Amino acid sequence: MQLYNKLSAKEREALLDEAGEERLTLSFYKYAKIGNPQLFRNYLFIAWDALDVLGRIYVAHEGINAQLSVPAKKFEKFKSFLDSIYFLENVRLNIAIEQDDKSFLKLKLKVRPKIVADGLNDDTFDVTDKGVHVDADRFNELIEDPNTVLVDMRNHYESEIGHFKNAVTPDVDTFRDSLDIIEADLSEHKEDKNLVMYCTGGIRCEKASAYYKHKGFKNVFQLEGGIIEYARQIENKGLENKFLGKNFVFDHRRSEQISNEVIAKCHQCGEACDTHVNCANEACHLLFIQCKSCAEKMENCCSEACQEVIQLPYEEQKRLRAGKKNSNKIFKKGRSPVLKYKSMPAETA
């Protein structure tokens, strides 16, 4: 039985074009004790492949973290399947604000040590002793309180294009990097301040809130459903939008527009821009911000060196990148020295 995706992204994209069906991009997570993650992973793959579900899903002993694209006409079947799993019944689904039928082009289900790489030893604290979940209305009230410290639990390349006003935006490349930095910076306010956190969909705050309570913070809050659910609630309830710019998302869309402000700049010319791209040179694939003018001038590349590479025959390009594996640790997502206006240490808005 096939338990892995066998189609390339281009082949899947062609099938999506041929089908011409509306799809829904959504995400969810759930911390739960899973005895056999591999068996559960295979069970999900068989069911979701039959429903034409695409996406990136991580399964671990501690739960599941899923970002998906589901055919709209099969959504009810998908929801019924989730509800048939006891710990996923009525799980909150974060439906994307901006839909794209090609947000995901493969179904990737992976077993991981953790559903979010937090670097924490969960045996040292009670992961169920979480902070208070708040909706958009209460969140807006809290962040206007002078007794509140608002912290963005995302990475620098995410907060660079969008964040809540007055938020502390740690200059970090990974979630695990931010945990100790935030604790150190706020060590004098563990008892006298409200620690209010937010992230994309809520999953990072879920673990972080328990960790900070363990570390002695007395008043810990987290935005329920993250930025995605906040955007939905402010529209439905007519609340004031306190988010500036775009929300970075981890699929082919790369971002969702939450407000009209453009708070970032092109990494190549410095003009106002908040569009993330990947370098056209597949041996590089650097994630950076590039405006339309620079995209045309640089042929969607991050540097002249990469421009030279993409002019080579495809087989020669394959030869040059053979045996090399690029990673976010190498390029630091927008911190490459080839970028004149690369992201600098984040500042409070």
The residues carrying an active-site annotation are 199
Cα distances (angstroms) measured from residue 46 to each of 5, 13, 50, 267: 11, 21, 6, 42
Tokens read off for 15: 């099938």
E strand residue ranges, the chain: 23-31, 54-60, 63-71, 94-95, 107-111, 132-134, 148-152, 162-164, 194-198, 219-223, 243-248, 255-257, 276-278, 287-289
Distance, CA of 62 to CA of 8 (rounded, Å): 30
Please state the φ and ψ torsions of residue 67, each to the nearest 5 degrees: -125, 120
- Which residues, at least 6 apart from 341, have a Cβ–Cβ distance to it below 8 Å? 265, 266, 267, 268, 269, 270
Tokens read off for 193: 């301040």
- Which residues, at least 6 apart from 241, have a Cβ–Cβ distance to it below 8 Å? 231, 234, 258, 259
Closest to 109 in 3D by CA, of 2, 256, 247: 2
- Token pair 């990097």 is found at 177
Contact (CB, 8 A) for 267 and 334: yes
Amino acid at 191: E
Q: Cα angle vertex 190, ends 188, 196, to 5°?
A: 115
Contact (CB, 8 A) for 150 and 167: yes
Strand partners, 168: 151
